[in-house]
Structure 1
Amino acid sequence: MKKILLLLANGFEAVEASVFTDVLGWNLLEGYGSTVVVTAGMHDKLKCTWNFTVIPEIKVANVNVDDFDALIIPGGFEEAGFFIDAYNKDFLNLISAFNNKNKIIASVCVGALPIGKSGVLKDRTATTYNLSNGKRQDELSKFGVKVMRNEPIVIDKNIITSYNPSTAFNVAFTLLEMLTTKDNCTKVKKLMGFLQ
């Protein structure tokens, strides 16, 4: 069984998190039956960008990286406090710990920014939110990242980044394929109606 940690910061975008619970959940029931998602956060309750509330299953301080096969980081809104948690030392150290063990790290939109701030993307390629005059991509480049501005999804070794919420399902399917097989991913896509 593959365990995947869904790392949530206050102010996360619910849609960017939910695609992973759905795709990996469909795999659990209809695919290989091999993926379990565990939510983690810095607080007892987390509020997403649009006030949806989530109770994480585990606190960041209690995460044992060895228990997990991959890490997911959805993005969120600065106005909702996303970067307060996402740039917290414990949040960043957890990202570094996953990378140090060469575990898959998948992000959507500005979820790439804490990955960049953690230092693990220095001298590597990645992307992040591509609209608003490239402001977020400029921020990512300040962490020493080679930003692929026109690529919707960028994979550099064990790290997947993407450039806006529209890419979330494709990132989730990419992660599923990396954790299982291409054939299994195709099966889940068909069952979910993404392929005819």
Structure 2
Amino acid sequence: MKKILLFLTKGFELIEMSAFVDVFGWNKTFNKIDIDVITCGFNKEIKSTFNVTLTVDKVFHEINPDDYDAMVIPGGFGYFGFYEEAYDERLLNLIRDFDSKKKPIATVCVSALILGKSGILKGKKATTYHLMDGRRQRQLEEFGAIIEGGSVVKDEHIITSWCPSTAPYVALELLETMTSKEYKDYIKEIMGY
């Protein structure tokens, strides 16, 4: 059975997290392919954007990266403390570990900045939140990423996107990466995307 590590930082966006739970839940139910989504954070309870608290499956010190086949990081709001944990060196090292093994890493919206900060986007095509006069995209470019214009950008095993509405499409792209286009297309169709 494959496993996805869904890493949640303080101030993460629920819509960006839930898309992965739903897409892979539908996959397990209708494609009959077991890919578990395991939530993780630095603390057992994580307060999301708009102050909804979620209890994660695993706390950071309980995980072994070798137990996971892919990693997902939803974006979040600075207003709700997202950047307080986003650039934590422990998370950056975890990202580097997944990257060194070429395991899929998927981000939504501003969480691409975390990948940028880790150094794994140097010379790679990527995107991030595209509004706010392009400020976040310029930040990502300063980390060495090559900014692409699409709403979802894949370069090798790394998937980035530009706003919360892209979360289901990032999840579907990750599903294709972990299974096949046929399985992704079926889930996309029956979920109405």
Query: What range is the shorter-chain TM-score in?
Result: over 0.9
Structure 1 distance, partners of 2:129, 2:181, is 27
Counterpart position of 2:132: 132
Counterpart position of 1:183: 182
The one-letter code matched in structure 2 to 1:52 is V
Q: Which moved more, 1:25-34 or 1:98-107?
A: 25-34
Structure 1 distance, partners of 2:168, 2:44, is 27
Structure 1 distance, partners of 2:164, 2:152, is 11
Kept in 2: contact 1:61–1:90 (CA 8 A): no
Structure 1 distance, partners of 2:114, 2:30, is 33
Aligned length: 193
Q: Compare the two structures and name the one with the higher helix fraction.
A: 2
Counterpart position of 2:171: 172
Kept in 2: contact 1:113–1:128 (CA 8 A): yes
Moved over 3 A (4+): none
Task: Name the SS for the 2:120 alignment partner.
Answer: coil
Provide, for residues 129-175 of structure 1, a one-character-per-residue CA deviation record: whole Å limited to 9, x for no partner: 00000010111111111112x21111111100001111111111111
Task: Name the SS for the 2:106 alignment partner.
Answer: strand
The one-letter code matched in structure 1 to 2:48 is C
* Per-residue deviation, 1:192: 1.6
Structure 2 distance, partners of 1:186, 1:143, is 34
The one-letter code matched in structure 1 to 2:107 is S
Q: Which moved more, 1:58-67 or 1:17-26?
A: 58-67
* Per-residue deviation, 1:20: 0.3
The one-letter code matched in structure 2 to 1:175 is L
* Per-residue deviation, 1:73: 0.6
Structure 2 distance, partners of 1:121, 1:97, is 14
* Per-residue deviation, 1:15: 0.1
Q: 1:80 to 1:12 in 2, by over 3 A?
A: same
Structure 2 distance, partners of 1:128, 1:61, is 29
Task: Name the SS for the 2:56 alignment partner.
Answer: coil
Task: Name the SS for the 1:102 alignment partner.
Answer: coil
The one-letter code matched in structure 2 to 1:152 is S
What TM-score do the two structures reach when normalised by structure 1? 0.95
Task: Name the SS for the 1:50 alignment partner.
Answer: helix
Provide, for residues 51-105 of structure 1, a one-character-per-residue CA deviation record: whole Å limited to 9, x for no partner: 1111111112222111111000100001111011110111111111110111000
Structure 2 distance, partners of 1:156, 1:33, is 25
- Identity among equivalent pairs (%): 47
CA RMSD of aligned residues (A): 1.0
Q: Which moved more, 1:163-172 or 1:185-194?
A: 185-194
Structure 2 distance, partners of 1:136, 1:8, is 20
Task: Name the SS for the 1:46 alignment partner.
Answer: strand
* Per-residue deviation, 1:107: 0.5
Structure 1 distance, partners of 2:62, 2:92, is 14
The answer for unaligned runs of 5 or more in structure 1 is: none
* Per-residue deviation, 1:44: 1.7
What TM-score do the two structures reach when normalised by structure 2? 0.97
The answer for unaligned runs of 5 or more in structure 2 is: none
